[in-house]
């Protein structure tokens, strides 16, 4: 069973497709089929900055639309789909 981590959107981060490349490089995974926040098919994905309740920042793939809207405020992401920025910076 997947281990889920509750996260929220990071404020004031510039997002670009490079963060999706960062995610691909460090996760060694193929992209998830669905967006973690809305559970819709993951179309037009970006690498989104999210923060867990301990304050750790991660990159996770997300629909561009969801990342721009910053909604919902809190959602759960499968642990495997989170790449820590601190470990790889």
Binding-site ranges for Zn ion (CB under 5 A): 35, 37-38, 63, 66
- Shortest Cβ distance from residue 24 to Zn ion (Å)? 19
User: Which residue's CB is nearer to Zn ion, number 15 or number 88?
Assistant: 15
- Shortest Cβ distance from residue 61 to Zn ion (Å)? 10
Residue 42: left (phi > 0), alpha (psi -120 to 50), or beta? beta
Torsion of CA 19, 21, 26, 28, to 10 degrees: 140
User: Which residue's CB is nearer to Zn ion, number 27 or number 67?
Assistant: 67
Q: Coil, strand, or helix at residue 42?
A: coil
- Shortest Cβ distance from residue 51 to Zn ion (Å)? 16
């Amino acid at each position: 069973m997947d281990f889920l981590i509750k996260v929220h959107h990071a404020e004031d981060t510039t997002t670009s497709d490079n963060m999706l490349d960062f995610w691909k490089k460090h996760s060694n995974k193929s992209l998830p089929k669905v967006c973690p926040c809305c559970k819709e098919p993951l179309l037009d994905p970006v690498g989104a900055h999210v923060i867990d309740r301990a304050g750790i920042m991660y990159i996770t793939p997300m629909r561009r639309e969801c990342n721009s809207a910053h909604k919902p405020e809190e959602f759960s992401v499968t642990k495997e789909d989170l790449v820590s920025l601190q470990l790889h910076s």
